[in-house]
Chains A and B, each alone.
Chain A
Amino acid sequence: MKFTRRDVIRTTAGAAAGALGSRFVGSSAFAQEGLTYKPEEGAKLRLLRWSPFVQGDEDQWLKNTKRFTEATGVEVRVDKESWEDIRPKAAVAANVGSGPDLMFVWFDDPHQYPDKLLDVTELGDYLGKKYGGWHDGPKQYATREGKFLGLPLATIGNAIVYRESWVKEAGFSEFPKDTAGFLELCKALKAKGHPAGFTHGHGVGDGNNYAHWLLWSHGGQMVDEAGKVTINSPETLKAIQYAQELYKTFIPGTESWLDVNNNRAFLAGEISVIANGISAYNTAKVNKDNDPKLAEIAKDIRTTNLPIGPVGKSVELFQVTTAVIFNYTPYPNAAKAYLQFMFEDPQMSDWITSSAGYCCQTLKAFDNNPVWKADPNNAAYAKASATLRPNGYAGPLGYASAATMADYVLVDMFAKAVTGQATPQEAMEEAEKRANRYYRV
């Protein structure tokens, strides 16, 4: 049963080191200058990661894992689960103290069970020092009180994906850079029969990205630095009013959308503008040879960052993933050695390149990875780690920020107001009340 339900990939030690791993032949411990972890005798590891959105990501991760196995003899089994199932699985593993040794978790997960995670500060500091430092946003998700609870693995960027010909047809020679211009564009697109579509439903990724952009771009915030709920503010009101105007230009039904709906509608040629990871573009690009319609769309797709609002700078949530080691693992050194190996060059470079713009580097030394220039559409995702703002801004990361997001407080606030189920003021007050429950006021 296990094997039919899960896609289990087992990487095993090769009998002979291949061309890739030849430089590690003969060493039982993987060693890099400066920091060495000697895997425990007979160590075996199991990693649970999210299912890839871009096949190159998984293929390269497995290739790198194979290199590690060849170098150290440590077998690593890599399992994968749908990305939304990772959070409950990680929660259960942390709570019962049993499960995979390593896991790729999302958002504030490490802050929910910091005591259950292996301290990897030494490794985090080492990698940061060696590779030009960590980008601040992903680092915040992975650190608590100065300690690394895991290693910031990647940021899954989110950007505007649009049809260039339709934007031009609507009278815009280039995509507007600010929120006011963006609203005008969406109105013009709607008039031309090519509406935009942004997720107002319970889509964990797209719903939250859009709602946070609306809020932050207008200067609103859920809580202040001390964790006091400040969502009920004139800035939030402006954000809601803006969302109401924008919603009028959307294709009907966006309040029911989950994560996949916008991709589907966009790739079917139903809508002109969405906000998404690079996977939407990649799907069109990868399948263009089999489908002339997709080939046409792929040629017409352009990407750019979400417009800047009154706040004057780019502020977005994105999805951040952290690689953690549970402290119940019997092989902590092997797990650290594995992560070290995977984060070192050339493994990390290869992985970022193969992820085709989906996974943005967290270590600054990899900022110039050729992937960001390989396709002009990749550029909008290149700075995701540098510009992201952590969940629950401007308060501390922790269970309250995680619970507020999981309960879709912000997503519901906008959805309620734009669909006319509540006035902006009512929606804001309800969000304040709901957030207060988690921030325990």
Chain B
Amino acid sequence: MAVPSVAVQRHPSMLSRLAESRNTLGLGFMLPAAALLLVFLTYPLGLGVWLGFTDTRIGRPGIYIGVENYEYLWSDSVFWLSVFNTVLYTVSASILKFVLGLWLALILNEKLPFKSFFRAVVLLPWVVPTVLSAIAFWWIYDSQFSILSWALQQMGLIDHRINFLGDPTNARASVIAANVWRGIPFVAITLLAGLQTIPQSLYEAATLDGASRWQLFRHVTLPLLTPIIAITMTFSVLFTFTDFQLIYVLTRGGPVNATHLMATLSFQRGIAGGQLGEGAAIAVAMIPFLLAAILFSYFGLQRRRWQQGGGD
């Protein structure tokens, strides 16, 4: 005689349902990251923006003064000089880093002897701490002991030492060169990674169609690399725009503020000068430029039509 079995239907508890819910799990996994972002990014950023609207000084909480800091900056020639320097520094260094980095990436993508060794060597400037490379450049650009001046003098190419950091134009060129040297590896290695994702079959097909080397680059490599270029250059522009260490070690913003960037001026005014409000205002004034760079990258460089060689 068969005993009828009683099927026990178990209703899942609230807890287990929550644990199995994709949404809850997703939220749970995101929480630590969100908390980190809130604490270490959103809060300082919000505080910075708020400080820019106050007259806070070191050791004295400020009061809300509206846009007075920005009004002061508007009429401040040193601030505008720092804006000019920052834009010049970012644009020149980024273009050079892109061109040289892409060129290096293309070379490293070829079949070369000791390829891995060269790839590792290329990374060195990026690996060295910025302060150390800045100190090395400080010696290279020294007005008395520059190895460049010495070498050129020995070769009989110049008869006096080059005033690398004393002349405003030379100083700007020198700090840009140092930044380019340091930033090339990042661009080169990232673009190299991008180059390696391009299927070989596309090159083969184009070659069969009779494409020249230039056409291969222009119509295969470049369009497929553009999304990587967009990301790489966005980061590169952000790093360059916010550079601080190189300038601080090499010139402290001199000569006569010719190399002051917004970041170094913000530090000088906010911390050394004690005017936290104004320092914060300078830092906040960097945000529109940074946003513009990011938007250009995302909405410009990533457009499919651009990538395919078309116009708007």
Contacts and interface: CB of A to CB of B under 8 A. Distances in A.
A406 B272 contact: yes
A88 B76 CA distance: 24
B255 A256 contact: yes
Chain A interface bracket (under 10, 10 to 19, 20 to 34, 35 or more):
35 or more
B160 interface: yes
Contacts of B168: 421
A131 interface: no
B60 A202 contact: no
B254 A91 contact: no
A430 interface: yes
Interface string A411-441: 0100110010100000000100110010000
A112 B255 contact: no
A116 B160 CA distance: 52
Interface string A193-229: 0000000111100000000000000000000000000
A408 B57 CA distance: 18
Contacts, number: 117
B256 to A, nearest CB: 5
B145 A399 contact: no
B161 A399 contact: no
Interface string B108-151: 00000000000000000000000000000000001111000000
A113 interface: yes
B307 interface: no
A200 B60 CA distance: 33
Contacts of B72: 437
B48 interface: no
B165 A256 contact: yes
Contacts of B60: 113, 115
Interface size class of B (residues with CB under 8 A): 35 or more
B252 A261 contact: no
A87 B269 CA distance: 12
Contacts of A88: 271-272
B166 A403 contact: no
B58 interface: yes
A421 B256 contact: yes
Contacts of A399: 57-58, 274-275
A256 B251 contact: yes
A403 B252 CA distance: 16
A270 B142 CA distance: 13
A251 B144 contact: yes
A258 interface: yes
B101 interface: no
B268 interface: yes
Contact of B76 (A91, A258, A416, A437): A437
Interface in A167-217: 200-203
B144 A265 contact: yes
A91 B269 contact: no
B52 interface: no
B256 A419 contact: yes
A66 to B, nearest CB: 32
B283 interface: no
Interface string A265-283: 1001010000000000000
B23 interface: no
B183 interface: no
A344 interface: no
A91 B251 contact: no
B59 interface: yes
A402 B274 contact: yes
Contact of A403 (B76, B161, B253, B269): B269
Contacts of B78: 407, 434
A284 to B, nearest CB: 17
B196 interface: no
8 contacts: A91-B274, A113-B58, A203-B252, A251-B143, A252-B161, A252-B163, A252-B166, A415-B256
Interface of B: 57-60, 72, 76-78, 142-145, 160-161, 163-166, 168, 171, 251-257, 268-269, 271-276
Given A201-B254, A399-B57, 5 more contacts: A256-B164, A403-B269, A403-B273, A412-B257, A419-B166
**Which 9 pairs between the two chains have the least Cβ-Cβ distance?**
A253-B143, A113-B59, A256-B165, A202-B252, A406-B273, A256-B166, A403-B273, A406-B272, A255-B255
